[in-house]
Amino acid sequence: MADDEQPQIYLISPPEIELSRFSDDLARVLDQQDIACFRLALGSNDEDAIARAADHLREICHARDVAIVIESHYRLVDRLGLDGCHLADGAKLIRDVRKELGADAIVGSHCGASRHNGISAGEAGADYVCFGPVSPTALGAADVAAPELFQWWSEMIEVPVVAEGGLTPELVATLAPIADFLGVGGEIWGAEVPTDALAALLAPLG
């Protein structure tokens, strides 16, 4: 990404939502910020609950020309009228998922802090790769994706890259020139007014 370009914003749902409240919060965020994509990343394996949420949130996103992808449950993409899926396990399933969903679907991959996994995902046909967390998590178990990884990626690889997990205004400023997307989720949804939290987080972008 050229240094004078701003990263796009990629929203990520919490693992658990109260649908009516979250729908209102999501609609307000989409109305106030230019959002490129929304990821439904529910922790539940209850397909009925996932389908209800996806149907409702799809309408909110598509009414505003925002793409919506689902995390992991790629077999639900066509049934629920979604734009694609986000795979949480690197490059392992990308070729199979791409074959099932077709060339037009969005297929992204989380690659932790591994340059190797990112390269493998790109070679397998991912539309984007995601590195993160970009700061230590509460559990402290994950390797942190350092700015140097994004710097190298932006110089060497054409596949778009998402930075997510523990963003702060300082990290936004650091990563803006070297990430194509900023993945924002837990940073804002726990706030009383998510739109205000997002505006504060993105303040360094001007």
**Over 60: is that where the pLDDT of 50 sits?**
yes
89 versus 6: which is more confidently predicted? Answer: 6
pLDDT category of residue 136 using cuts at 50, 70 and 90: confident
Which phi and psi (to 5°) does residue 8 adopt? -85, 160
| Residues in contact with 45: Cβ distance below 8 Å, sequence separation at least 6, in sequence order | none
Task: Calculate mean pLDDT across residues 37-44.
Answer: 97
Residues 188-199 have pLDDT tens digits of 999 999 999 999
Residue type, 142: A
Report helix, strand or coil for 141.
Answer: coil
pLDDT category of residue 46 using cuts at 50, 70 and 90: very high
Residues 144-184 have pLDDT tens digits of 999 999 999 999 999 999 999 999 999 999 999 999 999 99
**What is the value of pTM for the model shown?**
0.95
Longest dimension (CA), the chain: 44
Contact 126, 159 (CB under 8 A): yes
How many CA atoms lie less than 13 Å away from 139 in the CB half-sphere? 5
Q: Where are the domains of the chain?
A: 8-205
**Over 50: is that where the pLDDT of 125 sits?**
yes
Task: Calculate mean pLDDT across residues 14-35.
Answer: 97
Instruction: Give 8-205's CATH code, choosing from 3.20.20.70, 3.40.630.20, 1.20.1070.10, 1.10.357.10.
Output: 3.20.20.70
Q: What is the pLDDT, as a whole number, of residue 3? A: 45
For the record, the structure tokens of 146 come out as 């350092």
